[in-house]
Amino acid sequence: MTMLALKNVSKSFGALTVTDDASFEVPEGQALGIIGPNGAGKSTLFNLITGNLRSDKGSIHFQGRDVTKVSAMERCLTGIGRSFQIPQPFEKLTVYENLLVAATHGRNLSERDVRDDCADVLERTELIKRANTPAGQLSLLERKRLELSRAMATQPKLLLLDEIAGGLTEGECQALIQTIKDIHAQGVTIIWIEHVLHALT
């Protein structure tokens, strides 16, 4: 089954055409890597898929449904999750609370229904020991893990990772990749953009 299909998607900011006639399909279960230098339009492509930006032309289908005109919030509810290039955790909330906020509002559920799921996510992303630490006190790798966890807390079928390995050392990068591979192995389709090649290979 096709998870995501873009057909002739274009986006311009004034005279600058950032995404020009992009078409591709992502089958369910795939892990797709997209590489490009800074300013190539990778994040714009993600914003188009998540609905944070509207495309000027073309169509976007998610699991066979046309979501071209669907709001970002609703796309999140139907299963498109993303991480942000620059992690923006709520610094004064604990790691666990950060996830609860994402899960309750991202899935439209009450806290009682998402508590266990959030703990599971933290287990998988190896942040469970830091669950009660304020997010402001995390190291960079832990912040990346939190960003990943927060995207996972919305229980996405398609996970978009935006330069999540940026700024990490080689060793940290390997540790994070292992976690992402585990998530992929559990059946989550992943699109990952990065401007360093080795993270994707």
For other proteins, the binding residues (CB under 8 A) are 72-73, 76, 88, 90-93, 97-98, 100-102, 104-106, 108, 110-111, 136
Minimum CB distance to other proteins smaller for 20 or for 91: 91
Please say whether the beta carbons of 83 and 47 come within 8 A: no
Q: Least Å distance between CB 106 and other proteins?
A: 6
Instruction: Give the separation between CA 79 and CA 96, rounded to whole angstroms.
Output: 21
Instruction: Give the separation between CA 107 and CA 152, rounded to whole angstroms.
Output: 11
Q: Least Å distance between CB 88 and other proteins?
A: 5
Neighbouring residues of 14: CB distance < 8 A, sequence distance ≥ 6: none
Instruction: Give the separation between CA 46 and CA 82, rounded to whole angstroms.
Output: 8
Minimum CB distance to other proteins smaller for 66 or for 91: 91
Minimum CB distance to other proteins smaller for 31 or for 44: 44
Minimum CB distance to other proteins smaller for 65 or for 105: 105
Minimum CB distance to other proteins smaller for 73 or for 140: 73
Give the position of tokens 């079928």: 157
Instruction: Give the separation between CA 32 and CA 150, rounded to whole angstroms.
Output: 20
Instruction: Give the separation between CA 133 and CA 123, rounded to whole angstroms.
Output: 15
Q: Least Å distance between CB 154 and other proteins?
A: 9
Could you give the residue ranges of the DSSP H alpha helices within 5-94? 42-50, 72-78
Q: Least Å distance between CB 201 and other proteins?
A: 31
Q: Least Å distance between CB 19 and other proteins?
A: 21
DSSP reduced 3-state for 51: coil
Q: Least Å distance between CB 124 and other proteins?
A: 20
Instruction: Give the separation between CA 109 and CA 100, rounded to whole angstroms.
Output: 10
Minimum CB distance to other proteins smaller for 79 or for 106: 106
Please say whether the beta carbons of 144 and 164 come within 8 A: yes
